[in-house]
Amino acid sequence: PLILLGISLTTFIIILITYLQFIRPLNRYFLDNHVIRTLYILGLLICFSALDFVAYHFGFSIKYISRDQALNIDTSKQSSIFISISSDELSKMEHKYKITQFSIQDTKSNSSPQIYIEYSAGLLDNIKSPGINIHEILLLNTNDSIDTIKKREDVSGLLINTVNNTLQQQIQGKQITKCIPTLHRNLTLSLNLYYAIFDSSINDLTYYTKQELHDILISQAICDNTTSNVKQSVYGHIVSKILEECPVTKLDINNSWINTKEGKLAIAFFTKFNPEHLFDTDELSMNLTRELNIKLKHITDYVKHLQYSYTLFYQSTKILDSTLQESIKHSEKNISDINEPLMKLINKLKNTLKLIPQCIQNPQNIHKLSIQSIIKNLQYQVEYILNYRDHLENTLEHPINDASQDSLALFDVLIKRLRDPLKNTLNYINNIKYHSKIIQNIEHNKAIISEIRDTYFNTSYDTNHYSHLWKNRLSKEGSLRILDILKEKIDQNTELQDICNLAVIDTFDTNTNNQRTNEAIKQILPQTESELISITDKITAMIDANTGLISPNNDLISKKDILSKLFPDNQPCSLPELIEHARHYITTLCKEYMVSYIEREIQINNVQVNSIVWLPEKTTISNQHSIITSPEQVTGLSSTTQYKQP
């Protein structure tokens, strides 16, 4: 663009000077139009070239500086986003063009996420790179997070340096678990940040959003029946435990089970989490015994009965209001002074009925104080009217004369139409008060929170299955994550290295569920791919030709103690089984450091970017550390061991 701009501008100036100095003095007016037309075209070409030049240089060039200089970040003035990319993947980037935008795409599968970068190549052209595999994205906004990267000298990638204006304020006090940056065409960054809220700090069920609870409950969990192909969820485990502890035998409102602690807990749980709402009832049914399925039917039917009481109550108030209108209309002409107080009560009841909102039909609204107050007043008024005859008899002169008897007869006529609607309304009030007392009980809610939290932590794939270790969750060890701890232990223990080498063998995998975890562990193993193949060959050679099994009496890669860890029952097993034992061993090791938490998202827009820097790895050549400071150096060197995590 600069060459074209220079040529066009030079030509424009030469023609203009030639015209003014030589042609115009000759008064050759017929040439004016040609010159003006030529200058006009050249002017357009100059404008285009200038815009093309600006567009070509619009964006961020990747800076190549030393590792120490790149990580010299003043957190009071800036924060950085580190996108881990291997040196091999760096070759996919267009180094001579400037970056104008990029986005991160998580494939939602078992393969690594990728970054898609767009570069400016002028006014009429933009270049898009193919998807570049990335291993992790970290927000470096504290000295601890920066020190963590400094210690990991074998990682490389892009460092996006941003201005600390409102970013630090919005994330202050939050432990960031995931960061997804997007660079827009206006060269500002938007960040989708996820931060951890540890379950131990949550004591109220209402603190969770509906979506958070739903996601936790439908999480895939370790199946009780290891031979079954049916999946099981965290919800299924909780339901099974509640049903086993609940003494229900049949649907009977007079049955004692509804008054037991376990029965009330079951009612509270299934009111909040009915299996018919957003849960896989077929999967649930297949994971329950016949007896537990019958229990589930009885309890959920009873919960439906209680929940429907809210609708029936609302309907009964409408019927009662209509009946009141008719009763008052038929009794006004014959009413006596003695029944005047009753009529005042009825009119008061009528006014109360008008206050009952339609939302009362939803049990979730029963906690509102205004609704509770209306129901309390309504119950008092209904009970008082139903017992008013006794009050009336006590106020009459004794013995009761004919006049008094007439008053009682008039009252009976008046109340005859009202008795059934009043009693129905009172019954429904008792039902919903009983139900609301259960679902609002603090102890029940704490028990439900505890059950959800414990079951998720002890059964979910997120914290208990090898296939989810790639998620690299937070750990008990402060800033270290699960894979950081595993790497430390691998570096300290050669036997654990061998176990990990076994675990990542995917020859016998029938699906890709473990692919991401296998890749993550391969990146933290110190040996090369050729050594991994050699280990596989050695293990295969240990298989007995007659039985197809590996005996625990064999040494594994000259290590005497490793097999005892993978053979808890000290019995021979096949190679696929040995691989599964290795994966289980690693998962159990990692589980010791797991913590339970939920993640919430915040989005921060219009973050100003200072620069994009290539963070090189430190490579040892001839026993001397060489700092990689250019793309040519990175792609030209054979890679040393790199710590990469998906």
Residue 559 reports pLDDT greater than 60? no
Dist. CA 644–CA 646, nearest whole Å: 7
Question: Mean pLDDT over residues 350-372, rounded?
Answer: 80
Q: What is the pLDDT of residue 336?
A: 52
Q: What percent of the chain has pLDDT over 70?
A: 74
Residue 161 pairs with which residues in a beta bridge? 80, 611
Q: What is the pLDDT of residue 238?
A: 95
Spell out where 70-174 has E strands: 78-84, 98-105, 114-120, 126-128, 132-133, 136-140, 157-163
Residue 626 reports pLDDT greater than 60? no
Residue 639 reports pLDDT greater than 50? no
Q: What is the pLDDT of residue 169?
A: 80
Tell me, rounded to whole angstroms, the distance of Cα 296 from its chain centroid.
Answer: 29
Dist. CA 612–CA 85, nearest whole Å: 14
Q: What is the pTM of this model?
A: 0.77
- The sign one gets for the Cα dihedral 571, 493, 533, 582 is positive
Nearest to 271 by CA among 142, 410, 444, 134: 444
Predicted confidence band at 252 (pLDDT cuts at 50, 70, 90)?
A: low
Residue 631 reports pLDDT greater than 80? no
pLDDT in tens, 487-512: 999 988 888 888 898 899 888 888 88
Residue 77 reports pLDDT greater than 70? yes
Question: Mean pLDDT over residues 30-47, rounded?
Answer: 64
Residue 205 reports pLDDT greater than 70? yes
Helical residues (DSSP H) of 504-548, grouped into ranges? 515-524, 529-541
DSSP H or E segment with residue 572: none
Q: Is the peptide bond before 399 cis (omega within 30 degrees of 0)?
A: yes
Q: What is the pLDDT of residue 621?
A: 36
Predicted confidence band at 159 (pLDDT cuts at 50, 70, 90)?
A: very high
CB 140 within 8 A of CB 221: no
Quickly count helices (H) and strands (E) in the chain. 24, 15
Question: Mean pLDDT over residues 579-595, rounded?
Answer: 95
Residue 197 reports pLDDT greater than 70? yes
CB atoms within 10 A of CB 552: 17
Region of poorest pLDDT, from 157-166, 254-263, 460-469: 254-263
CB atoms within 10 A of CB 124: 9
Highest mean pLDDT among 51-65, 275-289, 567-581, 593-607: 593-607
Nearest to 416 by CA among 391, 393, 389: 389
Predicted confidence band at 642 (pLDDT cuts at 50, 70, 90)?
A: very low
pLDDT in tens, 417-473: 778 888 888 888 888 888 888 888 888 888 999 999 999 999 999 999 999 999 999
Which one is predicted more confidently, 584 or 418?
584
Predicted confidence band at 18 (pLDDT cuts at 50, 70, 90)?
A: low
**For tokens 């963590």, what's the residue?**
148
Q: Tell me, what amino acid is at 222?
A: I
Torsion of CA 257, 261, 265, 268, to 10 degrees: 80
Q: Cα-atom radius of gyration of the chain, to the nearest Å?
A: 38
Residue 25 reports pLDDT greater than 90? no
Predicted confidence band at 110 (pLDDT cuts at 50, 70, 90)?
A: very low
**For tokens 């570069």, what's the residue?**
119
Residue 571 reports pLDDT greater than 70? yes
Which one is predicted more confidently, 571 or 243?
243
Q: In sequence order, which residues have a C-beta less than 8 Å from that of residue 590 and are 6 or more positions away?
A: 469, 482, 485, 486
Question: Mean pLDDT over residues 24-50, rounded?
Answer: 62
Question: Mean pLDDT over residues 135-139, rounded?
Answer: 88
